[in-house]
C-alpha cells in the first residue's frame, strides 16, 4: 500500500499541468482516487465533516447488485447453446458457465474500453475528474443485449450513447436518458436484424476455444415473449423456466431470482428507490390484468413480470436516480406509468414483443414534467401564503 502511494506520488508531478505526460492526468487521477480515498479536506465556508458515502461507493454497490444476474446470464448463455445442440446431458456446470463467460466477456470488455475511453478523454478535455456513472452503464449494456450482437455494432452503440446521450448534456447527473438504454435503442433501431430480426440472435451459435457447440445456420429460437406476441400460448413450464431464468433472452435479463437478489441489495442500501420499483410492478400488473385476453393475448397479468426485460428494467433501469423522477411523490407516477406503457406496448403493438426499453425511455422524457407538477404545487402554496397575509 505504501509502495502504491509512493508510486502515485512519484507519477503525479509528471501529469500535472506542464508535466511531460499531462495528457494522462484524468487517467492517473482516476486510478489514484480508485486506490485511495482522496485526502482533500473541506474548504473554508463549507461543512467541516462529511459522510463517508460518495458516488464511487454508490456505483460500486450497483455493480455488485448486478453480479448475480450477470453470472446467471453467463451460465444461461451456455445452457441455451448446449440445450439447442442437445448435448446438455453430457456437459458439466463448468462447461456451460465457461462457455457463457467466454461469450459474454468480449462484450463487457468492449463496452468498458469504448465507454471509459471516451470518459477519460472527456474528463481530460474538461479538466474534471472521471465520473463513475459509466461503471454501471458499462456492465448494464452487455446484460441487455442478445448474445449474438456483433462487437463492432456494440462499440458503435456505446460510443453513440456515451457521447450523444450523456457527455453533450454535461456528464453523469445531467443526462436526460439512461445511457445503457440508449445503447440498446440505438442497436434496436439501427441494426434490427442483429437485435431481434430472425429469432436467431438469442442463442450463442459458435463454439469458443473448444467450449460449446456450433449450431447450424438455420437454427432459430424465439423468446417466450416473442412467441406470446404472435398469439402462441405460453406453457406452464416456460413460465417456471422464466422465473429461474433458463429461457432465451438478453444476457442478464432472464432470471427473476438473480434480479431479485440484486433488488434486495439495492433496496437495502437505499441506492434504488422502492417507490419507483414498486410502482413499476403495480402499473405493469394493473395493465396486464386489464389487457388479459385482449386481441388474442395469452398472458396472465403476472406473466409480464417474469418474461422479457420487465423485472430487469424495473429494478436496474427505472430506478436510475438521474433519469427518473427526482421528487419523492413523482416517483410513484413515474414508476406506475413505466409499468403501464411497457405492458401496453407488449400487448397492443404487434410490431414490438418487448416494450420495457421504450417505456422507460419515454418516461425518462416525461420525468421532468412529473417533477414540474410536484414542485409547482410547492411554489403555488408559497405564493398563496404570501397573498393571504
57 binds other proteins (CB under 8 A): yes
Sign of CA dihedral 256, 259, 263, 265: positive
172-191 residues in contact with other proteins (CB under 8 A) are 172-174
| Degrees, nearest 5: CA angle 270-38-4 | 115
C-alpha distances out from residue 355 to 134, 156, 216, 334, 340, Å: 24, 23, 30, 16, 10
- Within 319-358, the residues that bind other proteins by CB under 8 A are 321-322, 324-328
Considering only 10, 44, 127, 193, the residue that binds other proteins (CB under 8 A) is 44
Q: Is 26 in the site for other proteins (CB under 8 A)?
A: no
Q: Is residue 264 at the binding interface for other proteins, with CB under 8 A as the rule?
A: no
Residue from the set 3, 46, 89, 294 that interacts with other proteins by CB under 8 A: 46
Shortest distance (Å) from residue 389 CB to other proteins: 6
Packing angle between helix 328-348 and helix 356-388, nearest 10 degrees?
150
Counting contacts by CB under 8 A, is residue 217 touching other proteins? no
Instruction: State CA 313 to chain mean position distance.
Output: 7
Is residue 20 part of the contact set for other proteins (CB under 8 A)?
no
| Beta carbon nearer to other proteins, 43 or 210 | 43
CB of 274 to other proteins, least distance (A): 12
Binding residue for other proteins, selected from 48, 92, 193, 218, defined by CB under 8 A: 48
Q: Convert residues 269-288 into a mask of x (bound to other proteins by CB under 8 A) and - (unbound).
A: xxx-x---------------
Alpha carbons 240 and 17: distance in angstroms, whole number: 59
Which region among 127-135, 250-258, 289-297, 344-352 touches other proteins (by CB under 8 A)? 127-135
37 contacts other proteins (rule: CB under 8 A):
yes
Q: Closer CB to other proteins, residue 299 or residue 318?
A: 318
Distance between alpha carbon 211 and the CA centroid of its chain, in Å? 28
By CB under 8 A, residue 81 contacts other proteins: no
Q: Which of 22, 23, 38, 235 binds other proteins (CB under 8 A)?
A: 38
The three cell numbers of residue 339 are 409499468
Burial of 121 (0-12, 13-18, 19+ CB in 10 A): middle
Conformation bin of residue 152: beta by default, left when phi > 0, alpha when psi is -120 to 50: alpha
Please work out the total of residues on this chain that contact other proteins, with binding judged by CB under 8 A: 60
- 11, with CB counted inside 10 A (0-12, 13-18, 19+), is middle
Which CB sits closer to other proteins, 127 or 218? 127
Nearest to 360 by CA among 177, 136, 168: 177
Binding site for other proteins (CB under 8 A): 1, 5, 33-58, 60-61, 129, 131-133, 170-174, 268-271, 273, 321-322, 324-328, 375, 378-379, 381-383, 385-386, 389
Amino acid at each position: 500500500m505504501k509502495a502504491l502511494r509512493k508510486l502515485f506520488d512519484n507519477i503525479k508531478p509528471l501529469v500535472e499541468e506542464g508535466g511531460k505526460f499531462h495528457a494522462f492526468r484524468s487517467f492517473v487521477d482516476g486510478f489514484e482516487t480508485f486506490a485511495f480515498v482522496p485526502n482533500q479536506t473541506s474548504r473554508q465556508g463549507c461543512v467541516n465533516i462529511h459522510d463517508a458515502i460518495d458516488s464511487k461507493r454508490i456505483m460500486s454497490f450497483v455493480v455488485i447488485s448486478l453480479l448475480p444476474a450477470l453470472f446467471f446470464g453467463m451460465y444461461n448463455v451456455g445452457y441455451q447453446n448446449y440445450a439447442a445442440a442437445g448435448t446438455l446431458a453430457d456437459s458439466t456446470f463448468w462447461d456451460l458457465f465457461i462457455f457463457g463467460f467466454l461469450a459474454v466477456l468480449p462484450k463487457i470488455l468492449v463496452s468498458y474500453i469504448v465507454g471509459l475511453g471516451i470518459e477519460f478523454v472527456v474528463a481530460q478535455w474538461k479538466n474534471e475528474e472521471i465520473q463513475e456513472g459509466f461503471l454501471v452503464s458499462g456492465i448494464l449494456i452487455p446484460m441487455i443485449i442478445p448474445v449474438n450482437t456483433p462487437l463492432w455494432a456494440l462499440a458503435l452503440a456505446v460510443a453513440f450513447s456515451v457521447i450523444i446521450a450523456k457527455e453533450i448534456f454535461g456528464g453523469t447527473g445531467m443526462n436526460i436518458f439512461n445511457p445503457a438504454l440508449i445503447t440498446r435503442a440505438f442497436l434496436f433501431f439501427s441494426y434490427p436484424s442483429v437485435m431481434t430480426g430472425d429469432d436467431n440472435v438469442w442463442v450463442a451459435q459458435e463454439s469458443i476455444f473448444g467450449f460449446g457447440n456450433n449450431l447450424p445456420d438455420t437454427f432459430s429460437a424465439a423468446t417466450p415473449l416473442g412467441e406470446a406476441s404472435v398469439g402462441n400460448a405460453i406453457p406452464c413450464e416456460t413460465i417456471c423456466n422464466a422465473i429461474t431464468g433458463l429461457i432465451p433472452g438478453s444476457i442478464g435479463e432472464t432470471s427473476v431470482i438473480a434480479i431479485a437478489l440484486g433488488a434486495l441489495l439495492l433496496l437495502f442500501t437505499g441506492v434504488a428507490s422502492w417507490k419507483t420499483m414498486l410502482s413499476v410492478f403495480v402499473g405493469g400488473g394493473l395493465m396486464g390484468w386489464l389487457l388479459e385476453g385482449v386481441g388474442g393475448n395469452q398472458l396472465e397479468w403476472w406473466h409480464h413480470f417474469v418474461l422479457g426485460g420487465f423485472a430487469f428494467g424495473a429494478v436496474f433501469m427505472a430506478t436510475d436516480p438521474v433519469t427518473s423522477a427526482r421528487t419523492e411523490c413523482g416517483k410513484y407516477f413515474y414508476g406506475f406509468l413505466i409499468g403501464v406503457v411497457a405492458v401496453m406496448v407488449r400487448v397492443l403493438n404487434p410490431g414490438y414483443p418487448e416494450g420495457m426499453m421504450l417505456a422507460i425511455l419515454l418516461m425518462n422524457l416525461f420525468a421532468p414534467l412529473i417533477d414540474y407538477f410536484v414542485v409547482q404545487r410547492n411554489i403555488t402554496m408559497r405564493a398563496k401564503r404570501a397573498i393571504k397575509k
